[in-house]
Amino acid sequence: MGRPEADEEDLFDDRASPTSISSPQLRFEAQRALIWVAIVGLAVLAIYIAQALLVIFGALVFASMLDGGARLLGRFLPMGRSWRLALVALLAVAFLAWLIQFAGSQISREAAQLPQIVEAQATRLFAWLEGQGFAIDISSVQSVIGQLASGVGTVTRAIGGVVGALTTLFLIAIIGIYIAIEPRLYERGLGWMLPREQREDFYVTVSRMAFTMRRLMAGRLVGMAFEGVFTYFMLKIYGVPMAALLAILTGLLAFIPNVGALIAGVLMVLVGFSVSFEMGLYTVFVYFLVQTFDGYVVIPLIAKKTVDLAPALVLGAQLIMGVLFGIIGLFLADPLMAMIKVALERRSEYNQEEEQRQMAAGADGP
């Protein structure tokens, strides 16, 4: 005889599953272990998609530049936000076109000569140090420099080359434009995924981050323009070779605090001393004059009291980001640290508000 058909209630077996844990203590420990496994898994996933996350953050930085420019034009031009964003983008493209037409061929020739000048001057410097009694192996120094130049991290090597760099910049620009056109859309989308009680704090944090980023980028852009233009005229007046190339490098490297100014100064001084001792001293004077005026007048005037980051903290972040992601990580280290600081300050403020509310509720209680 066959097995009789099961009743409907027999289809729902309420017996414990073989995978269930009866002990409350073991179940609690299993849940804790699952949480830690999830955290480790998310950390590993973040490592694998770190380059994509960096591109997205770079797009946010670029969007803040566009948004800041549109807000600035809004003070003088009574037009819609979309038109102001288009005007900012058009001005940026026009500037790049002018720059290429102004010094394109000249810079390409100078850029081909600059590595030879730097190498020759470095060799002379090491030879002078050896003459002063310092034990320096030039071949070892050149090997270390070569390793530092090529060791830009595993993630950057995966997309290395000119094509990869241009593709990354293109993605940053496109995503940044989309975010700048309608930033509230993405802000509401992220807030919608959070619990209701956390959305207000999220919006406050994002608003402060956006304000800080706009002020920070305003200071960076003004500093870049000032350092580039002032360096060009100061070097051109004295007849320093490669004035246009050195000015452009100085302006671009001004985006990187601390490290950028040092690299630009070293290149400027090496080119100066390659001509004569007097010209080398003049480039040293130009470097200190530009950096002093920019650091104590231009930047504090534009973005004072916006972000107060410890120099050692910024240098440490630049070192880590530079090793992991190369030049793009070096450029984005400072904005990333600024955003982390804003988030931590807002979290501390939120916790303090919660404590005050709890104390007030306790005082009003029986």
Here the tokens at position 28 are 């609690």
For residue range 278-328, what is the model confidence (pLDDT) as tens digits?
A: 888 898 898 888 888 776 666 666 555 556 677 778 888 888 888 777 778
pTM over 0.85: no
Compute CA distances 65 → 21, 73, 138, 214, whole Å.
Answer: 54, 12, 44, 6
Spatial distance between the Cα atoms of 201 and 246, rounded to a whole number of angstroms = 45
- Quick check: helix, strand or coil at residue 187? helix
Contact 363, 225 (CB under 8 A): no
What letter represents residue 176's amino acid?
G
User: Where residue 103 falls among pLDDT bands split at 50, 70, 90?
Assistant: low
Spatial distance between the Cα atoms of 178 and 176, rounded to a whole number of angstroms = 5
pLDDT at position 148 is 43
Residue predicted with more confidence, 364 or 85: 85
Spatial distance between the Cα atoms of 190 and 358, rounded to a whole number of angstroms = 28
Q: Which one-letter DSSP state was computed for residue 9?
A: G
Instruction: Please state whether 217 falls in left (phi above 0), alpha (psi between -120 and 50) or beta.
Output: alpha
For residue range 44-97, what is the model confidence (pLDDT) as tens digits?
A: 777 777 778 888 888 999 998 888 888 888 888 888 888 888 898 898 888 877
Compute CA distances 86 → 135, 169, 170, 190, 278, whole Å.
Answer: 58, 19, 17, 26, 47
